[in-house]
Amino acid sequence: MRKLFRDFLLLAIAPFVATLNANGQPGVPRFNDYPVSERFNGKTVPLVLTRAARQFRTRLREAARDKPNFAGHLIVTTWGCGTECVQGAIIDARTGRVFMLPFSLCCWGTEVGVDDRFKPLEFRLDSSLIVLSGARNEKDGDYATRFYRFKDNRLGLLKSVRH
């Protein structure tokens, strides 16, 4: 009975534990692997909105008031798009350019079995690595943790770990 409970518990929390510990596992990109030393401390310049970004202009303008929280000069912002669903953008505080995330992330709760501390996006001010976890665009069977590097104004996929 104990073994059955232990196995159930391991299966239920495995995706959450994998996401939390992914940056410490060998072979998986770590924040320390993609350091940035710059820090933008000025005021964010006015936003340059693309057609896709215009529909979220109020949310983006609010986020542009914040200080950079990613890769030294970028502001990552997200908003809900349903239950257990987020979408978002990356704002360049120096140029005002807005980069929409290429997909929404969803379904990390009951489907995958994670707890309330789970974060579908993980990033740091001192790193150009961003970790996106969940199913892309609400697609069944697409649960993964994806490691991207933001470089040259785009997200480049480094590695994908399926759940």
- What is the full DSSP assignment across 148-162? EEEETTEEEEEEEEE
User: 75 near 68, Cβ under 8 Å?
Assistant: yes
Section 60-83 average pLDDT: 94
Domain ranges of the chain: 2-162
Predicted confidence (pLDDT) at residue 4 exceeds the cutoff of 70: no
Tell me the pLDDT tens digit for each residue of 72-108.
999 999 998 877 889 999 999 999 999 999 998 887 6
What global pTM score does this model have? 0.78
3-state secondary structure 12-69: HHHHHHHHHHHHHCCCCCCHHHCECCCCCCCCCCCCECCHHHHCCHHHHHHHCCCCCC
pLDDT value, residue 1: 41
